[in-house]
Amino acid sequence: MYPVMLEVRGRSCLVVGGGGVALRKVDGLRAEGAEVTVVAPEPMPALAELAVAGQIRLERRPYRDGDVAGRRLVFAATGDREVNRRVFRDAEAAGIWANVADDPELCSFHLPARVQRGALQLAVASGGEAPFVTRRLRQLLERRFGAEWSEWIEAAGRFRAEVRRRKLPIAEEERRYDTFFAETVDPGRLTARVPTSGEEESYLAGASYGVELAAPAAAEDRHWTAAAPGPAAGLVSLVGAGPGDPGLLTLRGRQRCLEADAIVYDRLAATALPLDLPSRVELHGVGKQASRHPVPQEEINALLVRLARAGKCVVRLKGGDPFVFGRGGEEAEALVQAGVPFEVVPAVTAGIAAPAYAGIPVTHRREAVRVTIVTAHESIKSEGAQVRWDLLAADPHATIVGYMGVTSLSGVVEKLLAAGLDPATPAAMIERGTTSAQRVVRAAVSELPGAAGRAGLEPPALFVIGPTVAHAAELDWFQRRPLVGERILLTAPPGAWAAKLERAGAEPVPVALPVSAAARVVMDALPITGCLLRSPDDVDSLDEERDNPSWSSAARTWCLGADTAGRARARGWPAIHELPADADPAALVRAIAARVRRTPPPATPGGSGGRGAA
């Protein structure tokens, strides 16, 4: 096999077949700009919808000899080997490359397993000899190459253009490329980061090489400066995604996402991306997480300005509320400096919502009449800390909510106890609050650091300290629902299935077919614990999505009917549970609940609760 990358943009390609496998081929071709014709007597609804939208040409009929004429690529995916053989034979006779799904003997080319991060593509192939290997290698690469590689490859492209503009000798160009790569890529961890503008300038300067460089780019070319917005300037919406539960995204936030030309999102905001986001919307994952910012803040600011100056409507989607420990104020100031119009769309902040999902009211008449929201990092500052821990410790009628508190919890508790806080004050640590991955540990404040450590709680998490935490033993409504902790993938339209799952405590993830880039980001945000397959076409359409990093090896497969279950078994889906073809949503909920073990919430402080809590 000779590996190549084909340019199919604007070229005519044929897909014969109307099921889930055909849909996957169509989706891949459309993503690369091909002109796609589908021939199928009974196409699945998703293909019909693409045809109505004018995105493909659909001919509702059986394949006819000669249909391959004038095509650049031909795919056969009918499920009938004789028809597939005819398609391949015609394509071979016409000198056209052809691929027959799941039949290596009837292929003049094979499709590699791909991992795509923006313009960066990694392909794995075995020449058809061992497809199980390529799938597993793809799964490995999907997990190792994070979303930051998309922004990194864009930064690399801009860096190359600037190096080429300076007209350096080839050897000096290569040295600068070596520097860029060495400084931004960790070869051991296979992680990347976007360099700051200042770092890029240092890479370009190459002073140690002793080279006389051409004049650097003008400041306005590489950076942004204060200026009045021109007629083509777009709008940046600083949108709060809420605390994690996708249902807590505000109506205006959702509207702005659906109207956007580009969305710049943080890792913790990924769960709130609308699953029906139009395919035209650019997605820029800037990957911020605890102690690791692969895209520096100043480069995020520059990205927002660059996109807006291109005339685009931009959504900056941030976890929680943009102006509550979200650096939204800093981003707004950068936009003002650059002369870019912006708006703020507030949201539910995790400091209020996460305690509510843990059964903790942050205020309660006669118990807590004040709420103080702090960043726990202030506890580790030796000089100039802005939090008066002594005043907080002396207030028995207040609730303290601390963000970014996992690594700083011990320091916070030490300062509060030293200032006189009662060691028996109720307290809790909440990990991934409001989501299917929520875990909660409750204990007396003096014991909370040890309890949280034993439970293995990790960021993102916040702590709550105050008398109202004691109400969680009675008010923990979220943890008592039968399917809490379950995250179930199903195809759209979800109808009553999603509503029934959600009311039982599960998080439904209804994805439209073909699966969009936004849906893949949402799937990747948290572990998928199960999948509802309602037809054999669902099996074929979602089969490759099991390579997604979030797909748990313990995920259950719920199939409606013997045909669907049979197709899932043939394709190697795990943990298949067959339900009657006419099963209703209530039957699914009962079936899942019967197979899910749940740890009951703690009745008194000092225990721990939540899915997987120790």
**DSSP run (H or E) holding 577:** strand 576-579
287 sits in the region (left: phi over 0; alpha: psi -120 to 50; else beta) called: left
Closest alpha carbon to 440 in 612, 298, 594: 612
88 contacts 105 by C-beta, under 8 angstroms: no
Q: Which residue has the tokens 């703690």?
A: 602
Helix, coil or strand: residue 434: coil
Q: Which residues are bridge partners to 343 per DSSP? A: 237
Closest alpha carbon to 522 in 613, 435, 592: 435
Residue 555 phi/psi, 5-degree rounding, is: -65, 140
Q: Looking at beta carbons, which pairs linking 176-179 to residues 24 or more positions away fall under 8 Å?
A: 176/203, 176/204, 176/206, 179/203, 179/206
Helix, coil or strand: residue 493: coil
Sheet holding 262-265, edge to edge: 282-285, 262-265, 314-318, 236-240, 342-345
Return the axis-axis angle of helices 297-309 and 197-205, rounded to nearest 10°: 90
Closest alpha carbon to 497 in 404, 587, 371: 587
Return the axis-axis angle of helices 197-205 and 170-184, rounded to nearest 10°: 140
How many other C-beta atoms can be found within 10 angstroms of the C-beta atom of residue 72? 16
Which residues are tagged catalytic? 266, 288
DSSP states along 495-519: HHHHHHHHHTT-EEEEE-SSPPHHH
73 contacts 97 by C-beta, under 8 angstroms: yes
411 contacts 380 by C-beta, under 8 angstroms: yes
Please give the biggest Cα pair distance in the chain: 87
